[in-house]
Amino acid sequence: MDDSSRYYKKTGKNEKDEQLEQYREANTGPGKDLTSDAGLKISNDRWSLRAGRRGPTLFQDFHFYKKQSHFNRERIPEKVVHARGDGVYGEFELYKSMRHVTKAHFLQEPGCKTPVFVRFSTFIGNKGSKDTAVDIRGFATKFYTQEGNYDMLALSFAVFSVMDAMKFPDFVHAVKPNPRTDVPQATIAHDNAWDYIANNQEIAHFIMWLMSSRGRPRSWRMMEAWPVNTFRFINEHGKSTFVRFVWKPVLGVHSLLLDEANIIGGVDPDFHRRDLYEAIERGAYPEYELGVQLIPEEDECKYDFDILDDTKLWPEEVVPVEIIGKMTLNRPVDNFFSEEEQSSFDPSTVVPGIDFTNDPVLQGRSFAYRDTDYHRLGTGNINDIPVNQPIVERNFNQRQSDVRHRIDVDSVHYHENSLANNTPSETPPEKGGYAHYPEEVAGYKTRERPSESFYDFFSQSRLFWNSMPPVEKQNIVETFNFHLGYVQSKSVRQQVVDMFANVDKEMATVIADNIDVNPPSGGNVPVSASSPALNMENTPHYAYTQKVAVLIGNGFDGREVCSVLDTLRHCGVFVDIISEKLGTITGADGAKLEANKIFTSTYPVLFDSLYVVGGRSEGEAKFEQNIMHFVNEAYRHYKPIGVATTGQCYIQASKDNNLAGVVFAANNPNFGDDFVSAIAQQRFWHRK
């Protein structure tokens, strides 16, 4: 036995463990007061310091600055959040002039086209996590305008998780893996996350979105997105209009089932990235229409929600969405690291005609993003990186820093000066120089909430619940059950159930019964309103770009099958031919098809629909087993199934099923069209 072994046997620790002991400290427990890293006791760790109750955040709020700037440096070099993602280039075309509300150049003339770069991402997981995690998604767009870059940072939910940027580091700490074990990855199915949720109830509305189907999109191409913050449009006369933006996918908003998302995360963690590239390669370019919601400045306080509160949406039935343009994504990056990984987005990167409000989250974000990327990218020259460079001329006095490639030949690099005739010179606002809106600010320095409605955590959470169809309400309950089933603390589970009884008591009672806690004693808030715009049943449905797996062997009816495949492809359906082996499959009439996938390397959850043809195979028993596995999985996930005349043995009516969404070719001269219609419907929820 060596000395280290003897030491461990005697003390229960090895020498390294003993060495580390001097660095271990507990931050929680009785008598533990919150302090800064310099030992200063903190009186308010929840709200930033503002000039007046509804005023802007003050730069002198050193506690916010230190908390946020430290948080920004917590990961090297991976992004703290939104680490996993992908980016593509495209173009935005304006439908209609917005000159009456904004002087932004790219929103003036209908038909104006602006190059863009878009990055999609998940929020919680690291770079090696899965695309299909139950999570909020990022949808960041960089417009390369004629006035410089404009960054629009959107999320796949209409609401945010916190009311003030001060709390964002705490939220991220809570949802990230346990700091002791680094488990679990890319999920909130753990105690810390739900403990935070139960004790920070402003997050209720956000969690309702997360537990819904919107937390697991079918594709980035089928995902709605909102920048969540409230901005200002400023027109050429200096008039201000409050604005929120929304991206609406032309293909509609569609999602995965929880079971599908979990399985896909294991068998194809790159599912969304692969889907994006495949669509672009096939010429089915992802398209999104840009909508704006506008509120005149004089109407700021006329609503039952505060327009500066990012945990509240602006219901479309109350503040209509005006569609003003369309973005088309049509080109992948050439180098993932150089372009996607080094892309930088910052909500303070704006152009004349777009300005900030006193939205407490936006005020913090306008500082945090650029500071984060100074650290992450390791340079002050972020906009020298090609993907971030604007397309307009740049003249500035910043110098040096890491990876400086620009060779500045001027001997003068300061302002004001006489040696260079005071150039580069300022540009007055009337000639295109950026000027902030001269909003009047008055009030005492305070950390108060901007208005009383910031205390209302549940009215819009209830609105969201009321807007869901029955099948989606069941999905929400099941997603709660899944996540809370991993929570070890019964106290936390009980707190969550009691919290969400404010949204819907019946929902919370059903959840309580599934997770072994007492039913809630309280009831839901008295809100009966709903928003049809939130109901995904009302979204567009198309067969276009839906993925169909053709399950086939030798001996198929060539005339029938080829006719169906022609119909599918004509309608823009993506077809994969799956068989026992790659290569040529021969029909009974000599027709030939090429199998591009094999059963052993693909899975039924990766497809939106099946075309069951059948046929002969060398390994007959295994071939039959594989087809039945695909059929059973697609059927239980409510997906459409087309059945060729040679495939009827694989799915038959019985007293236990109603075959809803199953279309048979036998004796059906309109099979192709009927199958396409079923594919467009996508799910058959009344199936049994």
- Could you report the per-residue pLDDT of 618-646, keeping only the tens digit for each? 888 999 999 999 999 999 999 999 999 99
> Has residue 284 got a pLDDT over 70?
yes
How many alpha carbons fall within 13 Å on the CB side of residue 30?
A: 0
Q: What is the mean pLDDT of the chain?
A: 93
**What would the pLDDT profile of 444-486 be if each residue is shown by its tens digit?**
999 999 999 999 999 999 999 999 999 999 999 999 999 999 9
- At 386 the pLDDT is 87
pLDDT at 219 over 90: yes
Residue positions forming the annotated binding site: 119, 168, 365, 369, 376
Average pLDDT of the segment spanning 180-189 = 96
Mean pLDDT for 583-589 is 96
76 pLDDT band, cuts 50/70/90, is low
Query: In sequence order, what DSSP letters do the residues of 306-372 get, joined into one string?
Result: -TT-TTS---TTTS--EEEEEEEEEEE-S-IIIIIIT----TT---TTEEE---HHHHHHHHHHHHH
Q: How many CB atoms lie within 10 A of CB 199?
A: 12
3-state secondary structure of 428: coil
Q: What is the mean pLDDT of residues 526-553?
A: 97
**Distance (Å, rounded) from C-alpha 200 to C-alpha 204?**
8
Q: Is 10's pLDDT higher than 80?
A: no
Q: Which of 129-143, 297-311, 315-329, 429-443 has the lowest mean pLDDT?
A: 429-443
pLDDT at residue 75 in the model: 65
* pLDDT reading at 512 higher than 60: yes
Calpha distance 645→81 (Å, rounded): 51
Task: Tell me the two tokens of residue 198.
Answer: 């139960």
What is the model's pLDDT at position 5? 43
- pLDDT at position 16 is 55
Provide the pLDDT confidence category of residue 34 given band limits of 50, 70 and 90. confident
- Output the CA torsion 527→533→535→536 (10° steps): -160
- Hey, what amino acid is at 7? Y
Q: How far apart are CA 615 and CA 596, in angstroms?
A: 17
Structure tokens at 45: 């760790």
Task: Tell me the mean pLDDT in the region 647-660.
Answer: 93
State the burial class of residue 393 (Cβ atoms within 10 Å of its Cβ: 0-12, 13-18, 19+). exposed
The yes-or-no verdict on residue 319 having pLDDT over 70 is yes
Most confident range, picked from 73-77, 228-232, 387-391: 228-232
End-to-end Cα spacing for the chain: 66
What are the beta bridge partners of residue 240? 234
pLDDT higher than 50, residue 529: yes
pLDDT number for residue 4: 43
Domain boundaries, position 628: 547-681
Does residue 7 carry a pLDDT above 50? no
Question: Is residue 484 in some structural domain?
Answer: no
What SS3 state is found at 46?
A: coil
| Among 388, 409, 434, residue at a domain's last position | 388
Inter-residue contact 112 to 143 (CB < 8 Å): no
Helix/strand/coil (H/E/C) assignment for every residue in 136-204:
CEEEEEEEEEECEEEEEEEECCCCCCCCCHHHHHHHHHHHCCCCCCCCCCCCCCCHHHHHHHHHCHHHH
The CATH number given to whatever domain includes residue 669 is 3.40.50.880
Please, which pLDDT band fits residue 408 given cuts at 50, 70 and 90? Answer: confident
Residue 3 has pLDDT above 60, yes or no: no
DSSP state of 554: B
Instruction: Provide mean pLDDT across the span 295-313.
Output: 97
Q: Which helix (H) or strand (E) holds 662?
A: strand 662-664
- Residue 602: per-residue pLDDT: 97
Cα–Cα dist 536/465, whole Å: 12
pTM for the model stands at 0.92
Using 50, 70 and 90 to split pLDDT, how confident is the model at 403? confident
Closest CA to 198 of 422, 474, 517: 517
Answer yes or no: is pLDDT of 282 > 80.
yes
CA distance 82 to 122: 5
Confidence check: pLDDT of 14 > 80: no
**Mean pLDDT over residues 645-662, rounded?**
94
Q: What percent of the chain has pLDDT over 90?
A: 79
Which positions make up the binding site for heme? 119, 168, 365, 369, 376
Question: What is the pLDDT at residue 198?
Answer: 98
User: What is the count of structural domains for the chain?
Assistant: 2
Q: Which CATH number covers residue 140?
A: 2.40.180.10
Question: Hey, which residues does 86 pair with through a beta bridge?
Answer: 120
Q: What would the pLDDT profile of 124-164 be if each residue is shown by its tens digit? A: 999 999 999 999 999 999 999 999 999 999 999 999 999 99
Domain assignment present for 408: no
pLDDT for 222-259, tens place per residue?
Answer: 999 999 999 999 999 999 999 999 999 999 999 999 99
> Is 91 inside a domain boundary?
yes
Q: At what angle do helices 204-211 and 470-484 cross, to 10 degrees?
A: 100
What does the pLDDT read at residue 12? 59
Q: Domain ends where: 388, 405, 426?
A: 388
Which residue, of 330, 359, 388, is where some domain finishes? 388
Does residue 552 lie in a domain region? yes
Give me the helix-helix angle, 505-514 and 470-484, nearest 10°: 40
CA distances from 398 to 243, 373, 406, 553 (A): 33, 17, 11, 66
* φ and ψ at residue 98, rounded to 5 degrees: -110, 25
DSSP 240: E
Taking only Cα atoms into account, the Rg of the chain, rounded to an integer number of angstroms, comes to: 28
User: Tokens at residue 246, please?
Assistant: 């929304």
Query: Does residue 615 lie within any of the structural domains?
Result: yes
